[in-house]
Amino acid sequence: MNSFFDSMYAVLGYPFGFVLRFIYNYITAGNYGLSLILFTLFARLLMIPTTISQQKNTVKTQRIQPKIRRINEKYKGDQKKIQEETQALYQREGFNPMSGGCLPLLLQLPIIYGLIGVIYHPLKYALLIGKEPIAKLTEAIGKVMELGKNTRMVELTIIENIEKIPDVPGVSAQVYEAIRNFNFTFCGLPLGSVPDLHNFNKLWIIPVLSFVTSLASAIYSLIKQKRQNPAAGNAATTGCMMLFMPLFSLYLTFQFPIGIGLYWIASNVFSFITMIVTGIIYSPEKLIARDMVDETVTRRSKENYIRRLSNINNKDA
């Protein structure tokens, strides 16, 4: 399993490292934390079409609910007929009840994998230092301090303790200078550090903010869903789903360096803003009114076509 994740990090690490390095060098003037936030904004902008699709799908759900209720009432007790008529309704309306859902989370998984690779291996992916200098620095730092069993933290340990490493043959002065100048912090927090659940300190701000922003987004989404579709789901199921993502966010940010947590917080905030904006631009009232106009135009076009055919047939007769 570890080899699989290592392969994922390797595949996604270089392109993500390139993007972050570009933002770091040319946009944020050497602020890696801000680079992560801008990278997150860029990723969320790419996901806007999915958010819009979800909003439209939610409105379609709201619109066809009365028709589904009529089907349930008409064929009460005949589950097979209800299912057949409901599927036929979905086809007529061009509605896919499975669309959206977990798609945004699934789209974020490659981003998270890529960021984990870049954050655990900044020398390799962000600074593009070769394997040989990294191996020599790893050997040197191992002589100075205890590295422990977590080999993923080696490059982060090198960055934090570069001043303790004596000059190593085969490692150029440029490599040392690049590592010393690499600003791997945000607001004084080292992005490579992992919050300790058993040791309360300033790093806890990242898991807490991750939980709070995720919970706020989940509550807003729930309120919005209930307003648009009061019949959707029961209270217990909805409550469990609402708490899942905030708790998952909290767990995630205690397992990985806070750079991942910073991405998660920024993603929650941008997602929350996107939901509000798309909810205004693509409000149920506007979309339903637009659909009704389109249906009216289509129906009248068909009526006019049939009328013209009828007139032609009457003339031929």
Return the pLDDT at 34.
93
Considering the domain boundaries, does residue 151 fall inside one? Answer: no
Considering the domain boundaries, does residue 276 fall inside one? Answer: yes
Return the pLDDT at 276.
87
Model confidence pLDDT, tens digit, residues 117-160? 888 888 988 888 989 999 999 888 887 777 666 677 888 888 88
For residues 38, 41, 46, 48, the Cα torsion angle rounded to the nearest 10 degrees is -170
Interior CA angle at 56 toward 50 and 58, to 5°? 100
Model confidence pLDDT, tens digit, residues 78-129? 888 888 888 888 877 777 666 555 666 677 778 888 888 888 888 988 888 9
Considering the domain boundaries, does residue 309 fall inside one? Answer: no
Tokens of 276: 């509000």
Considering the domain boundaries, does residue 270 fall inside one? Answer: yes
Determine the Cα–Cα distance for residues 228 and 211; give it in Å rounded to an integer: 26
Considering the domain boundaries, does residue 57 fall inside one? Answer: yes
Determine the Cα–Cα distance for residues 69 and 34; give it in Å rounded to an integer: 50
- What's this model's pTM, rounded to 2 decimal places? 0.76
Considering the domain boundaries, does residue 298 fall inside one? Answer: no
Regions of the chain with pLDDT less than 50: 1
| Structural domains of the chain, count | 1
Domain enclosing residue 109, as ranges: 2-127+182-282
Considering the domain boundaries, does residue 177 fall inside one? Answer: no
Residue 180: its H or E element: helix 173-181
Considering the domain boundaries, does residue 305 fall inside one? Answer: no
Residue 102 DSSP one-character state:
T
The SS3 call for residue 307 is: helix
Reported as half-sphere exposure (CB side, CA atoms, 13 A), residue 240 has a value of: 4
